[in-house]
Amino acid sequence: MPIMSAIESAVCRSAAWRSFARRGVLPWALDGHALHGDVLEVGGGSGAMAAGVARANPEVQLTVTDVDDAMVESARTRLAAHRNVTVQAADVTALPFDSGTFDAVTSFLMLHHVVDWRAAVAEVKRVLKPGGAFIGYDLTDTRLAHWVHRADGSPHRILAPEELKHALRADGFTGITVSTAFCAHLMRFYACSPAAKS
Ligand SMILES: C[S@@+](CC[C@H](N)C(=O)[O-])C[C@H]1O[C@@H](n2cnc3c(N)ncnc32)[C@H](O)[C@@H]1O
């Protein structure tokens, strides 16, 4: 089920985006947070960020998901050379994984496409192991972001940083940081699922 406009889909699959995503966006988005163990990427698109994660962290087992079958196919092709990656279709609001499966969940520039983003955040929390991390970045609710998405006609629900922070807190995440960048057009976030009590 395609969610993005034809233009956005084309950009997401372009060689230019893949190169920029891996070299420039990924290090900024991860903000020095190390990935280990089982990692899930939601809304992974054509696998641009996943390729960087897989290459930099060969010991990580990375599961890349997307709701759009065309994106899943594209990511499967692009990531086929990485033995530590599996790609499958999945809607972030109803993830087909057991609770407590992943050490980290990454979400890069995808939450604003999920109209029911609260369900997405709850699902991320459910599939994280105790102590697991939710890491990512997204657009913020600027006029420009609203204008672009209204113009291209794709379903969207662009979040204010405070909204995301409140939702993460309400869902029980701890250690939450949500910080804006690039004239507040983007926000980077990090949150932890509380560690199990011993
Ligand atoms: C702007 S693209 C970003 C792709 C990738 N994360 C990147 O940084 O290159 C957003 C992606 O989110 C996916 N998406 C939108 N809604 C989704 C949902 N409910 N569940 C899973 N993926 C979704 C879209 O199909 C699209 O591939």
pLDDT 10s digits, 113-127: 999 999 999 999 999
| Position in ligand 1 atom list of the atom nearest CA 41 | 6
Q: How confident is the model at residue 6 (pLDDT cuts 50, 70, 90)?
A: confident
- The domain ranges of the chain are 6-192
Pocket lining: 137 vs ligand 1, CB cutoff 6 Å: no
Give yes or no for residue 42 CB within 6 A of ligand 1.
Answer: yes
Which has more confidence, 150 or 34? 34
pLDDT-based confidence at residue 107 (cuts at 50, 70, 90): very high
- Tell me how far the alpha carbon of residue 43 lies from the centroid of ligand 1, in angstroms: 3
Question: CB of 4 closer than 6 A to ligand 1?
Answer: yes
pTM: 0.95
Q: Whose CA is nearest to atom 27 of ligand 1?
A: 45
Residue 150 has pLDDT above 90, yes or no: no
Task: Identify the band that residue 51 occupies on the pLDDT scale cut at 50, 70 and 90.
Answer: very high
Q: How far is CA 58 from CA 35, 36, 76, 85, in A?
A: 10, 10, 17, 9
Q: pLDDT averaged over the chain?
A: 94
| Residue range 6-192 in CATH 3.40.50.150 | yes
Q: In terms of residues, how long is the chain?
A: 198
Please report which confidence band the pLDDT of residue 149 belongs to, taking 50, 70 and 90 as the band edges: confident
Ligand 1 pocket check for 44: Cβ under 6 Å: yes
- Sign of the CA dihedral 49, 51, 56, 57? positive
Q: Which long-range contacts (CB under 8 A, 24 or more apart) does 78-86 make?
A: 78/18, 78/46, 78/47, 78/48, 78/51, 79/47, 79/50, 79/51, 79/54, 82/51, 82/54, 82/55, 84/54, 84/57, 84/58, 84/59, 84/60, 85/47, 85/50, 85/54, 86/61, 86/62
What percentage of the chain reaches a pLDDT higher than 90? 78
Residue pLDDT, tens place only, 35-49: 999 999 999 999 999
